[in-house]
């Protein structure tokens, strides 16, 4: 496999990340208590494994994203490095949250303390903050150095705003922005709306 094919395959891992996340969403449940997690054990474990595989694809995509941004930014690629580091932190926090979910779902005694469930939910929302940083870095390199078309740079900035609201949901207990609230659910697709065309452009330009 030549270098060009490798580059396209690496960029296409963004599509794999979306596909795995879409498959994981089929097993979405809304457990609250330890008993709920035990009752939905199989679905939740399947969901976590799919999301973890998507995280692995995400790490591969981030390597391609950094290269794509660095070519446009030039020099030391400082902002491109910020995007890569923030994206890696986002994936790592999501993997940590999935580890909490696996541990909770596998607790046959249903004795998981509520604190563990609350911490898991907090990690899921806190993970949005490094994603905000990544998207802002992408927007900067796109608008200043044309790494992506300007419209996609602005879409990255809008998506960063959506992720900021999702991060703020860390301390929201009720209302539309709370976990599983209608606003939270409406904000999640913004990242995918940026990711799909960005991946397509990276594959084409690889």
179's CB contacts (< 8 A; 6+ apart) are 121, 125, 169
pTM over 0.75? The answer is yes
Query: What is the reported pLDDT for 6?
Result: 85
Q: How far is CA 22 from CA 19, 27, 47, 48, 51, in A?
A: 5, 10, 10, 12, 9
Cα gap 20→52, rounded to integer Å: 9
In this structure, are residues 38 and 32 in contact, taking their beta carbons and an 8 Å threshold? no
Q: Is 19 exposed, middle or buried (0-12, 13-18, 19+ CB in 10 A)?
A: middle
Q: Over its length of 206 residues, how does the chain's per-residue pLDDT go in tens digits?
A: 677 888 898 899 999 999 999 999 999 888 777 788 888 889 999 999 999 999 999 999 999 999 999 999 999 999 999 999 999 999 999 999 999 999 888 876 667 778 888 888 899 999 999 999 999 999 999 999 999 999 999 999 999 999 999 999 888 877 888 777 788 888 989 999 999 999 999 999 98
């Amino acid at each position: 496999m030549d270098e060009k094919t490798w580059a396209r395959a690496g960029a296409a891992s963004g599509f794999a990340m979306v596909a795995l996340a879409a498959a994981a969403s089929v097993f979405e449940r809304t457990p609250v208590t330890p008993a709920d997690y035990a009752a939905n054990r199989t679905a939740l474990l399947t969901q976590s494994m799919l999301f973890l595989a998507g995280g692995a694809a995400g790490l591969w995509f981030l390597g391609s994203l950094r290269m794509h941004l660095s070519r446009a930014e030039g020099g030391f690629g400082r902002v491109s490095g910020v995007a890569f580091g923030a994206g890696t932190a986002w994936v790592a926090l999501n993997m940590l949250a999935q580890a909490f979910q696996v541990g909770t779902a596998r607790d046959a005694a249903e004795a998981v303390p509520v604190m563990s469930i609350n911490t898991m939910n907090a990690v899921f929302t806190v993970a949005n903050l490094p994603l905000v940083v990544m998207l802002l870095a992408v927007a900067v390199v796109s608008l200043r150095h044309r790494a992506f078309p300007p419209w996609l740079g602005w879409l990255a900035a809008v998506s960063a705003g959506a992720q900021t609201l999702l991060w703020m949901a860390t301390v929201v207990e009720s209302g539309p922005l709370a976990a599983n609230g209608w606003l939270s659910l409406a904000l999640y697709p913004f990242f995918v709306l940026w990711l799909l065309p960005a991946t397509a452009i990276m594959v084409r330009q690889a």
